């Protein structure tokens, strides 16, 4: 198995003969950055055997982990038989979809069967990212949902205010037009009555009905009574006499 062991950067050299200083441990929240080494990707294949060496180049790598101790002894850093005998922080390759996706989990080992997950990283097409924690995902989703809900309520309230204003304006204009229609112009009423009275005086009287022809037999008394009742129920309406000035309201 071919590996490309990488040593930690030397940093500030210790001229007194001591060991070189190790870089500080990566922070817990590094979701805002990503790492990609195109030169390494062009030189080595990205598979399950070399993916950890590539991950060790990133700022997400903790040089104090148990995997680094195995690398220093020329043992594969993901050998579970060796990692299970150690305690402390370590990295495990949890999911693999070569060559596009690799999921690496950082965990704390307290015994052969007792591990506590800490952080998760994933390598997607050669770019390394830190996966956000579940609480941060929930907080972000809730914050985004609350923002859109608040924006929707603000938009709805503005529309309701505008609709209420328009409705009140329409009701006011309708009431004004109705009041204007119900107002009676008495001068115009007197003028129309005067015109109708003058027309009534100018028209000739109604001529008498013509006599019955010879041999005409009047209808029976029952039919006559029915006709009389019909005449009493529905009297003819003369548009001039029955609706003339005498029938109008006098002021």
Beta strands across the sheet bearing 127-130: 34-35, 127-130, 115-124, 101-109, 88-97
Q: How far is CA 199 from CA 164, 202, 205, 207, in A?
A: 53, 5, 12, 17
Which pLDDT score is estimated for 65?
A: 94
Q: Report residue 163's pLDDT band, with 50, 70 and 90 as the boundaries.
A: low
**Does pLDDT of 50 surpass 80?**
yes
- Interval 93-127: pLDDT, tens: 999 999 999 999 999 999 988 999 999 999 999 99
Residue 21 Cα distances to 4, 17, 62, 69, angstroms = 22, 12, 14, 16
pLDDT of residue 1: 42
Prior bond of 99 cis (ω within 30°)? yes
pLDDT at 134: 82
| Token pair belonging to 59 | 């700022």
pLDDT band at residue 224 using 50, 70 and 90 as cut-offs: low
Q: What is the pLDDT of residues 7-16, one digit of tens each?
A: 444 444 443 4
**Given the structure tokens 């930690």, which residue do they identify?**
8
What pLDDT sits at residue 228? 61
pLDDT over 70 at 239, yes or no: no
pTM of the model: 0.52
- Is the Cα dihedral 96, 132, 126, 12 positive or negative? negative
Q: What is the largest CA-CA distance in the chain?
A: 158
Mean pLDDT of 21-49: 83
Position 232 scores a pLDDT of: 52
Q: Looking at residue 20, what is its pLDDT?
A: 47
Cα–Cα distance measured from residue 113 to residue 108, given in angstroms and rounded to the nearest whole number: 11
Distance of CA 131 to the CA centre of its chain: 27
Mean pLDDT, residues 212-216 taken together: 69
pLDDT at 24: 53
> What is residue 79's DSSP assignment?
-
């Amino acid at each position: 198995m071919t590996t490309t062991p990488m040593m930690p950067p030397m940093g500030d050299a210790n001229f007194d003969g001591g060991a070189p200083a190790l870089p500080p441990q990566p922070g817990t929240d590094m979701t805002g950055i990503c790492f990609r080494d195109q030169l390494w990707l062009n030189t080595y294949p990205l598979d399950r055997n070399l993916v950890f060496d590539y991950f060790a180049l990133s700022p997400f790598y903790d040089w104090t982990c148990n995997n680094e101790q195995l690398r220093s002894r020329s043992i594969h850093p993901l050998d579970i038989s060796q990692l299970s005998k150690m305690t402390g922080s370590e990295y495990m390759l949890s999911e693999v979809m070569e060559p596009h996706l690799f999921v690496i989990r950082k965990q704390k080992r307290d015994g052969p069967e007792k591990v506590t997950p800490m952080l998760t990283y994933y390598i997607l097409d050669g770019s390394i990212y830190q996966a956000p924690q579940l609480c941060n995902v929930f907080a972000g989703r809730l914050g985004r949902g609350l923002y859109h809900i608040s924006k929707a309520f603000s938009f709805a309230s503005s529309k309701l205010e505008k609709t209420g204003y328009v409705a009140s304006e329409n009701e006011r204009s309708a009431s004004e037009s109705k009041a204007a229609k119900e107002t009676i112009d008495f001068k115009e009423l007197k003028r129309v009555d005067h015109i109708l009275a003058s027309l009534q005086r100018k028209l000739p009287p109604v001529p008498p009905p013509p006599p019955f022809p010879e041999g005409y037999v009047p209808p029976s008394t029952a039919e006559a009574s029915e006709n009389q009742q019909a005449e009493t129920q529905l009297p003819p309406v003369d548009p001039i006499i029955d609706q003339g000035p005498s029938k109008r309201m006098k002021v």
